[in-house]
Structure 1
Amino acid sequence: MQKTALVPYAHLPRTPHHNHHHVLTSTVDVFGTAHWLLAERAPQPGVDLLPFDALVVSVDPDGSVELTELSAVRARWPHLDRLPDGGFVVAASRTRRHDDANQVQIFDALGRETSSFSVGDAIEHLLVDESGHIWVGHFDENPVGIRRWSATGRLAWTSDGAAIPGLFDCYALNVSGTAAWACPYTDFPLVEIRPDRTDRPVRVWANRVRGSHAVAVHGERVAFYGGYGEEPHRLAHGELTETSVEPTDVGLLTLPDGSVPGRRRVVGRGGRIYVQAEPFTAWGVFDLSS
């Protein structure tokens, strides 16, 4: 089986902050900048240390580093992304009944909280687009599908009534520009969502690749990463026809040194899939367009 190695993309720099902080989460934003959310302590089951101060370390594609201190973060198991104005979104994956209005926190570029709101329990993916809208895909403990929110907490688009088959768990979500691509459980169709397009804002292609947790799309080409059972590192390629994804090739996606990752994070952005393996200090990239 053909192997494709990730290309090294961004590393968490060795700084005094890194040496004494725990990586809570990390992401790559819509403009290609990598971000790490650091805290002095790792979250512990049954131990409530909220709120806490945190540090965001941002590494631009050119390698420049920026530090942003966030005050009074309230997410135990957080999602993170950057807004186009330089601020940040931090969201708890699970809501707490007594504090669900504080599930999503918006911070300005100086790290000050400016607003908070709820987007619903069971966040699987949270990705910000170029316009500053926040895309949220949920897992099956709250099967509400996919939603797009403004940075002030206004619901801007919902998959309700969008005729997406089998949308029970948002396995894969890719946000690039102002559009999104998804591959949801249970039917795993490939879905293109362009809310700003008045004509046909949602397109659906039948797809035979099951269980993928990341998707990349470039023109008529598509790649799915991940799978069930013995295929967690599968990289399946396909081409778009009018109604379906036609498989063309299947291989393995490996780390840059040729090994396969254990625990990992994945982010889909257009034609790219970013992968971060434990200890979560480095991102690699697969680029479908290259």
Structure 2
Amino acid sequence: MTEYPPPPPEIPKPQDVHFSDDVWNQVLTHMPDTDESLREKAEAAQRTQQLVEELVAAQEYPLRPLESVRRLVEPFVGAEIAGVNTAWDGRLLIDWRGDGKQTTSAESPDGRSETLDISLFQHSVDYVMPLPSGNWLRYQARVTPEVDRTLTPAQRARTAHTPDSAWVIDTSGHVIASGSLGDACLEASVGSAGQIWVPYFDEAPQRGLAGIWERNAHGDMEFVEDSIVPTESVAEDSGYGRFTAGYTGMTIFDENLRVVGRHDREKSDTDICEVYMSATDGERYWYFSYPDWNIDCVGPEGQAPPIHDDRHKAGFLIAAGEQIAFFSGPGPDRDSLFLRKSDGSEEMSIVTMPNGAALTPGMVAAWGGTLHYVADNVWYRVDALTSLAPE
């Protein structure tokens, strides 16, 4: 895990409250960049590159060279790759942006199979992905309920209306279904049966359920009596229920944007503040969360028992069937792959460019056991879940 310096004098550590290193890491990574911090990050990146090259040269661990799939062609002049993801069937999704335009393309090894021009729809969105039905899901990460300020806080909590922040559209831009996936959404994954797994980040998507605090006439925070809304009383189709859709940390929707499942706290006692990483093979969905550092999985059999792992708090999760791996870590482990074995031990290998050199800067996505890597508009991939250990 990245080591950060002690908090600066202007942010003193309270003597009566204990803050773990994880908490301080969260605080400091959200602080704005300065010229000095940008310079320090550039220097750190150079040091990391050197450490990775030394690790590759030492030949202490087996190498996993990437396979070049093909060059990705820009859909319009000036288009640059802003992000990568994977579709419900394993195709690579590319978010292209430039000159005020935005397009999402679905790529297969044989060529581009589908393209959606984001300008087809009037609402700005954060995430776009195809669905098995042939339609597309578009949604916003944040949503704020509309409330009647003439009501008491307790009444507002129960009558708030949540505006639409998610839409299912066809390839012509016509709306097939609309709704809300809740507030504080992260990037979703879509399964081969059309299930939409949505994780959430640490903006407390459950807020309000435990009561409301407001400033009184003296400027002090004061708890509003009768403002607690029991979770079991929040109807899914109410505005308030839609706002708090992510209160368990992971929620499952169907293609009509209806809630069909959640992280099951009765079968897994993982307390989710934020989902750090997630992965799918089309049938199952794995999600690795803070602060318990558990890997949870939900699939056709329901909620699986969690797997604890506090060694990989940064990186990328890859999973399929019964196998799990983490890609990337701090320092020399930047290009390393950690394949988890059934006994909890790990097999380490190093992902390289096809020629065996350390990776050049790129973007990562995964589907099933395949790790995808995009660098300089070239699509690479590698089988990440096959053991390289000698038999």
What TM-score bracket applies, with the shorter chain setting the length?
A: 0.7 to 0.9
Residue 13, structure 1, aligned to residue 66, structure 2: no
Counting aligned pairs with the same residue, the percent is: 19
CA distance in 2, matches of 1:139, 1:231: 25
Once the two structures are superposed, what CA deviation does each residue of 1:43-83 show, in whole Å capped at 9, x if it has no partner?
xxxxxxxxxx743322223324433334125235x222210
Highest Rg: 1 or 2? 2
Structure 1 residues 175-227: Cα deviation after superposition (integer angstroms, max 9, x where no partner): 22231112222232222212x42xx5322222243214422234544211133
Provide structure 2 residue ranges, at least 5 long, that are not aligned to the other structure: 1-54, 56-60, 147-160, 206-246, 387-391
1:286 matched to 2:382? The reply is yes
> Is the counterpart of residue 273 in structure 1 residue 371 in structure 2?
yes
Equivalent residue letter for 2:365: V
Pairwise CA distance, 1:95 = 3.1
**Quick check: 1:75 aligned with 2:173?**
no
- Equivalent in the alignment of 1:92: 140
Residue type of the partner of 1:80?
A: V
Q: Name the counterpart of 2:284.
A: 179
Q: How far did 1:228 drift?
A: 4.5
CA distance in 2, matches of 1:117, 1:24: 26
Distance in 2 (alpha carbons) for counterparts of 1:287 and 1:150:
30
Q: How does 1:23-42 map to 2 (within 5 A)?
A: 23-41=81-99
Residue 197 of structure 2 corresponds to 135
- Give 2:351's match in structure 1, choosing from 253, 265, 283: 253
- Alpha-carbon distance in 1 for matches of 2:78, 2:349: 39
3-state secondary structure, aligned to 2:198: strand
Partner SS for 1:130: coil
Query: Cα deviation per residue 1:139-178 (whole Å; 9 max; x = unaligned)?
Result: 2223541111112111111115242424222111112223
- For residue 169 of structure 1, what is the amino acid of its counterpart? E
- Of 238, 243, 254 in structure 2, the residue corresponding to residue 150 of structure 1 is 254
CA contact (8 A) 1:126 1:134 kept: yes
Q: Identify the structure with the greater strand proportion.
A: 1
Instruction: List runs of 5+ in structure 1 lacking aligned partners.
Output: 43-52
Answer yes or no: is 1:57 the counterpart of 2:105. Answer: yes
Indicate how the Cα distance of structure 1 residues 9 and 263 shifts in structure 2: closer, same or farther if over 3 A, else same: closer
Q: Would you say how many aligned residue pairs link Structure 1 and Structure 2?
A: 267
Does the Cα contact within 8 Å between 2:327 and 2:337 map onto a contact in 1? Answer: yes
Structure (1 or 2) with the greater helix fraction: 2
Secondary structure of the residue aligned to 2:143 is coil
Query: What SS does the aligned partner of 2:204 have?
Result: coil
- State the Cα distance separating 1:109 from its structure 2 match: 3.4
Structure 2 Cα separation of the partners of residues 236 and 219 of structure 1: 16
Structure 2 counterparts to residues 203-282 of structure 1, below 5 A: 203-228=305-330, 231-241=333-343, 246-256=344-354, 258-262=357-361, 264=363, 266-277=364-375, 281-282=377-378
Q: Secondary structure at the match of 1:240?
A: coil
In structure 2, how many angstroms separate the alpha carbons of the residues matched to 1:65 and 1:38? 15
Q: How much does 1:84 deviate?
A: 0.6
The CA deviation at 1:25 is 3.6
Look up the equivalent residue of 2:185 and give its one-letter code.
I
Quote the residue 2:169 is aligned against. Answer: 107
1:27-57 CA distances to partner (integer Å, 9 max, x unpaired)? 2213122233445545xxxxxxxxxx74332
AA aligned to 2:383 is D
Q: Residue 125 of structure 1: SS of its match in structure 2?
A: coil
Asked if 1:188 is matched to 2:278, the reply is no
Q: Give the counterpart letter for 2:171 in structure 1.
A: A
For residues 111 and 368 of structure 2, the distance between their equivalents in structure 1, rounded to whole angstroms, comes to 21
Question: Does the 8 A contact of 1:26 with 1:80 survive in 2?
Answer: no
Query: Match for residue 49 of structure 1?
Result: none
